[in-house]
Amino acid sequence: MITNPRAVDRIAIRDSLGYPAITLLASMIGFGSLVNESGLPLGMAIAATLGIWGLPGQLTLIEMHAAGASAFFVILGVALANARFLPMAVSFMPLMPSRRAGMASDFVLVQMLSINSWAAGLKRFPEIALELRRRYYVVFGTICMSAGLIGTIIGYLGVEMMPREIALGLIFMNPLFFAILLAGVNNRPSLIALLIGAPLGLFFHLVVPDFDLLLTGIIGGSLAFWIGQRWPQRDNSP
Amino acid sequence: MTTVSYFGLALLTLGAILGTYFWRGMGVLFASRVNSAGAVFQWVTFVSYAMLGGLIARMVVLPIGPLEETSLLIRSLAFAIGVTVFLLLGRRVLPAVLIGVGSFIAMIFFSGALLSS
């Protein structure tokens, strides 16, 4: 059991600076370049990265706006795209209980939660003393958010300096990153929902472009839910 | 693309941030009081995933914006290469993305396939 705060800092820095920081830097470079190419301001790219803090929701915001959806549907779409944060937060927050502050600080800390910090916490927390887990989470999350912020800015500013082929490659990185990150989820019903959603999304986009993603989510998600009920799975990771 | 004021964009982004935070905040409120494997949570998660699957397909097959300059064949091939590399070679995200994007850039470059410009 690790009880030394300095040791916790070192582990958090080492865990975050490798793979998570590089992945976030790369994916947010793609995101920043997309925001620029969509004709939207840098401030919006930065606010979306730090405020939404999840590539799927950020891409939903930019893509639905670019598609001309009204603000109400864009916001509803982003909210639905991020619904997976609910089960994530419910299962994760109790793993790092606060000693005195009560719940107030939880409402701040939960903003840093992402699939990276979720996975890192689940893996490391068993080795870390209860009262130091928040420290690990904050150090890890701050480094991840910084990498995401730097990537967003590099992508936004850098895409203009690139040859056209590479600029388009950076934008193409968005759907590919997005698909590969989600394909890595070890939860068969979620993957089924993803696969059902793909053709439905194309169909509804052609038929009812204003409601395409919402209908895709509700119909595809319900279908996947129904299938999941018939073939129950043990694994419930989000 | 529609011209929207900075104020409108700021409101839109703020709404998207609050719409995301809603789930995070509810998660803190409900933490340890409900079972995160419950049916409602599962349904909500599947709705997210189905929606995201639809969005990925649309971004590749029917993109809006700059990717319209590229051909559907190149986008689909590069996407398939990236996902296949991910599934076959040990599920490592970064090499798969780099190979997928690299093959996309190479195909555009060598086919001279930019539709406009």
User: Is pLDDT at A153 greater than 90 in this prediction?
Assistant: yes
Could you report the per-residue pLDDT of A70-88, keeping only the tens digit for each? 999 999 999 988 888 888 8
Same-domain status, B78 and B104: yes
Mean pLDDT of the region A8-30: 92
Same-domain status, B24 and B40: no
Contact A47 B13 (CB under 8 A): yes
Contact B15 A75 (CB under 8 A): yes
User: Is pLDDT at A117 greater than 50 in this prediction?
Assistant: yes
* Cβ proximity of A78 and B19 under 8 Å: yes
Same-domain status, B84 and B60: no
Counted domains in chain B? 3
Same-domain status, B40 and B71: no
Pairwise CA distance, residues A59 & A113, whole Å: 18
Same-domain status, B84 and B96: yes
Classify A28 as helix, strand or coil.
Answer: helix
* Triad B66, A167, B12: Cα angle to 5°: 55
Task: Report the length, in residues, of chain B.
Answer: 117
Q: What is the pLDDT of residue A102?
A: 63
Residue A234 — very low, low, confident or very high, per pLDDT cuts 50/70/90?
A: low
CA distance A8 to chain B (A): 24
Same-domain status, B5 and B30: yes
Q: What is the pLDDT of residue A184?
A: 78
Same-domain status, B18 and B30: yes
Residue B52 belongs to domain spanning: 36-64
Residue numbers in B near A193 (CB within 8 A): 45-50, 53
Q: What is the pLDDT along chain B (117 residues), one digit of tens a residue?
A: 445 588 999 999 999 999 999 999 999 988 767 666 678 878 888 898 899 999 999 999 999 888 988 999 999 999 999 999 999 988 888 999 999 999 999 999 988 755 544
Share of chain A above pLDDT 90, in %: 62
Q: Which of A180, A214, A233 to mutate to test binding with chain B, by most B CBs within 10 Å of its CB?
A: A180
Pairwise CA distance, residues A89 & A113, whole Å: 7
Contact B83 A178 (CB under 8 A): no
Handedness of CA B20, B22, B28, B32 (dihedral sign): negative
